[in-house]
Structure 1
Amino acid sequence: MSGCLPIVELIPFTVRLDLAGGRLEVDGRLDYRTAHLVHDAISALVHTHNERWVIDVSRSAGSDTACLRLLGVAYRRAVRHGRQITLIGASPSLQQALSRLRLNHHLTSSEVS
């Protein structure tokens, strides 16, 4: 069948944003296809008065280059705007990758409610 398009599997991905609480929850695979959605949510947090942002990745998978780049950019944006950012629920592989980049102490993975 030469005229058929390949079937692309849609993988569920959800970003929940609590502007009042400064909390962002990521559910699904965080990679180059979905990083822009989280970037947009971070952009919305920039315009709030929250001094602390919490990114919950406990229901997310991903530690590829796009995911790490996104977290690095989010950290720099938080610092540039005088905010703190806390990453919770990071998988062991993501924690290791953040440690290699020396971001693990800046994006603390202490549990926050």
Structure 2
Amino acid sequence: MKVKLSRSTTYFKDGKEVEIDSLDLDFDRLTGNDIFEVEREMTMMGHPIGTQFVQSSKALAMLGAKAADVPTFLVETLPVKDAFKLGMYVKGFLMGFPIPLEHPKESEEPQL
């Protein structure tokens, strides 16, 4: 599923600058280890989340970054609306809610 960002953002991958204007979420690529890595990163940043994973906006957005195959730190640079939207899609996936197959038209907001 493709999530359009409200503005493009850049990051470096393999020494090259990459510009993106959307995130292509592939939840099938995620494993339990991805959750454990996000928990470990959060703990190393001084924010242990324990059993509150689905309540943590940052943990959910970071897991979304893993589903999109972008660095987890990228979520910190996204506009707040985009970071929150990303987290909501991940939360919906984890809780078993239906996920839209494609991004809605520009004038429509996703229904979660």
Q: Same fold (TM over 0.5)?
A: no
Higher strand fraction: Structure 1 or Structure 2?
A: 1
Q: TM-score, normalised on structure 2?
A: 0.30
Q: Which has the higher helix share?
A: 2
TM-score by length of structure 1 reads 0.30
- Rg larger for: 1
